[in-house]
Amino acid sequence: MKREIKIEFTDENIQRLFGYEDAESEPIERLKEYYFKNETYGRVTSDLPIRILVGHKGIGKSALFKISMSEEKEKGNLPILIKPDDIAELGKSDENFLLKIRQWKLGLIKIIGSKVFVEFGITDENVFSKLSSFGLKLVSYVSESVTAFKDKVNLLPSQLLLIENFLKTKKIIVYIDDLDRGWEGKKDDIVRLSSLLNSIRDLANENPGLCFKISLRSDVFFLVRTSDESTDKIEGSVVWYSWTNHEILVMLIKRVLTYLGQPVNEASLITTAQHHIAYHLDEVMEKRFLGRGKWSDIAMYKILMSLIRKRPRDLVKLCTLAGREAYKSKSSKIRTSDFQNIFEEYSQGRIQDTINEYRTELPNIEKLLFGMKPSRSDKNISDQFVFNTAELHLKINKIIEQNNFVFAGGRTPSAKDLAHFLYKINFLTARKVLADGEIDRKYFEENRYLSSTSANFGYDWEVHPAYRWALQPDSIKDIFNRLSPSADN
């Protein structure tokens, strides 16, 4: 007879079970236990001079970098992490664009070189001073310096191994993360980041073996890409980060199984249908959602997948909030009532996240999002959050009549522009009812052309379920009655 496992949903247990909201705080050993490597991981970690990882906030860019750096260290390679405070003073002068690029190149060489020598255990000031020389070939200089010093200074065995491996590979891998910290979307921010990207391209070309991996929030990249034509030269180095709901479900199951100390067969999980693997969650949450309307007796995993925006952080937040409710009721499983009690708080958080993330692109975004709230005249519509293209444009035109919308670049958007913007930021998803009655939902990352008016792909539009409780807190029953869970994907 299977022994029932009882979980106490303390804050410590919730964090260990579902993970941290930010990868920086997650202990690396725990992160490695449950991390799932999708196709994006292989593309970012490939042996190429420049990889620019672009994705929404909360999609897992920092987690990917953290795992990648750990694996590079295990292989004996030399990963270097550059954080925003390392480069806070670079590229801020009033010099012209070309001089900004030069300033970035000099600054990056000095920062990277210093971090490399510290890793090697070399602290000679004469070695450091030459890092300020313009035109310095960094990889060659590091190679020559460590060859000269490795037998003259007392180094740890681990440092000697690192040096020996570097002398064989002649490779330095630089990770630049969190560049959107403090980002305001101003012209100076865009020019500064654009000059950084240009300097990295120059350094990679001038220094074979010097590889850069950079993460950028999608709205930040979009502003830079559309403001500076020179960035078309790095387009081939961009990797867009996306997840399927199936991959996120597998990650959740890996978290549960490793927390419970049970074996994990990742290959089997990823190739098996969701309804055949969902039982792995039964120790943690109820199997069925005992709600009402279209959510009555639905598999719990379908409810979870419907409410997240294909971002791992959404799932962490959703399960964490529900786990805290379970703790209040002293339950050893997360139950339907626990999820119901936090849906509005979860939804308000996702609205605020979206406003914070995209305010730099559309300063008046809050008016647009809350303008999508159903009006009194919409109450007789079967689903107040679902529109065909004509209905969507009509709804947005009414919002435009009452507000003044201007994109950060100064352009006044049309209803079509704002509809595309809402699709791009995942506030709207494309929607089609399948033959079996399930709902197929498409995100911008999966098909960027569905919002085009030049072709009809048979999709309507809906406000993502994650936002509905915040937009309609006075009619929560209607949400349950009208919202259909997502199809497996």
Tens digit of each residue's pLDDT, the chain (489 residues): 455 678 999 999 999 999 988 877 889 999 999 999 999 999 999 999 999 999 988 899 999 999 999 999 998 888 999 998 899 888 776 778 888 889 999 999 999 999 999 988 888 888 888 887 777 889 999 999 888 887 777 778 888 888 899 999 999 999 999 887 777 777 888 888 999 999 999 999 999 999 999 999 888 888 888 777 777 788 889 999 989 999 999 999 999 999 999 999 999 999 999 999 999 999 999 999 987 767 788 999 999 998 999 999 999 999 999 999 999 999 999 999 999 999 999 999 999 999 998 888 899 999 999 999 987 665 555 578 999 999 999 999 999 999 999 988 788 999 999 999 999 899 999 988 888 877 777 888 777 767 665 556 678 999 999 999 888 865 555 555 555 566 565
Helix (H, G, I), strand (E, B) or coil at 225: helix
Helix (H, G, I), strand (E, B) or coil at 215: strand
What is the secondary structure of 70-123 as a DSSP string? Answer: HHHHHTT--EEEE-GGGGTTTT-SS--HHHHHHHHHHHHHHHHHHHHHHHHT--
Whole-number Å distance between alpha carbons of 274 and 442? 18
Give the class (CATH, top level) of 39-240: alpha beta
Whole-number Å distance between alpha carbons of 221 and 360? 12
Extents of the domains making up the chain: 39-240, 250-482
Looking only at the bridges linking them, the beta strands covering 296-299 and 210-217 are unpaired
Supply the DSSP symbol for 474.
G
CA 43 to chain centre: 15
pLDDT tens digits along 58-76: 899 999 999 999 999 998 8
Q: Residue 287: CB partners within 8 Å, gap ≥ 6?
A: 278, 279, 281, 299, 300
Helix boundaries (H) for 364-441:
365-371, 389-402, 415-424
User: Of 188, 218, 186, which is closest to residue 363 (Cα–Cα)?
Assistant: 186
* Model confidence, pTM: 0.87
> Which value, to the nearest 10 degrees, does the dihedral of the CA atoms of residues 229, 233, 237, 241 take?
10
pLDDT tens digits along 276-298: 999 999 999 999 998 776 778 89
